[in-house]
């Protein structure tokens, strides 16, 4: 999948203050979230160091405090699930850190790094095992497909996205 159709728009945003040119092939990028409870516990530095040590480049990053409507839109696929309200409440409880990550096979590789949804079932060397507290408070999100990576990057990092920097 090559060409302009698959390019992610440039955006000047985040604490890096750099213009990001995400012009590579889809499959090279994923959208990561350090969830609010992990931000509140002061884990951002330790988590981003683990991410970089695992071979990812952080192309852009920003702190965002989602509204309820934005959290419901981001996790719309889970609307109606019994955990949905707990999930949206946790995602709006404070600022989260959204990160655009670059690496070969980024989507699959990052989901391997974060581990199983339930931290109790996650492998020992995974981020959710180290920083997760429960299935809802599992510290990290990672896009689950290239298509969703593009949608989620646009959600956080383009002018037309739903969640611009607060």
Q: CB of residue 122 vs ligand RTP: minimum separation in angstroms?
A: 10
Is 97 near ligand RTP (CB under 6 A)? no
Stretch that binds Mg ion, among 15-23, 24-32, 131-139, 141-149 (CB under 5 A): 141-149
Q: Decide which of Mg ion, ligand RTP, none touches 138; Cβ closer than 5 to 8 Å per partner kind.
A: ligand RTP
Q: Which CB atom, from 14 or from 132, has the smaller least distance to ligand RTP?
A: 132
Q: Which CB atom, from 47 or from 114, has the smaller least distance to Mg ion?
A: 114
33-70 burial, b for 16+ CB within 10 Å, e for fewer? Answer: bbbbbbbeeebbeebbebbeeeebeebbbbbbbbeeeb
- What part of residues 102-121 is at the interface with ligand RTP (CB under 6 A)? 117
| List 45, 65, 104, 141, catalytic entry | 141
**Active site annotation includes 45:** no
- Tell me how crowded residue 125 is: count the other CB atoms within 10 A of its CB: 11
- CA–CA separation, 139 vs 76, rounded Å? 19
Residue 134 CB contacts under 8 Å (≥ 6 apart), including other chains: 118, 119
Strand 96-102 and strand 29-34: pairing?
Answer: antiparallel
Q: Decide which of ligand RTP, Mg ion, none touches 83; Cβ closer than 5 to 8 Å per partner kind.
A: ligand RTP
Chain residues binding Mg ion by CB under 5 A are: 144
Catalytic residues: 141
């Amino acid at each position: 999948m090559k060409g302009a159709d698959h390019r992610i728009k440039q955006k000047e945003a985040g604490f890096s203050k750099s213009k990001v040119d995400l012009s590579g092939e889809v499959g090279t990028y994923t959208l990561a979230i350090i969830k609010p409870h992990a931000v509140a516990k002061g884990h951002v530095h330790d988590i981003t160091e683990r991410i970089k040590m695992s071979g990812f480049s952080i192309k852009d990053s920003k702190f965002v405090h989602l509204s309820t409507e934005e959290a419901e839109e981001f996790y719309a696929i889970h609307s109606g699930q019994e955990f949905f309200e707990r999930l949206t409440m946790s995602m709006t409880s404070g600022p989260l850190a959204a990160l655009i990550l670059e690496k070969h096979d980024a989507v699959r590789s990052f989901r391997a790094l974060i581990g199983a949804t339930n931290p109790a079932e996650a492998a020992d060397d995974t981020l959710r095992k180290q920083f997760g507290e429960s299935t809802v408070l599992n510290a990290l999100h990672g896009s689950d497909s290239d298509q969703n990576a593009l949608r989620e990057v646009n959600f956080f990092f383009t002018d037309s996205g739903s969640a611009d920097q607060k």
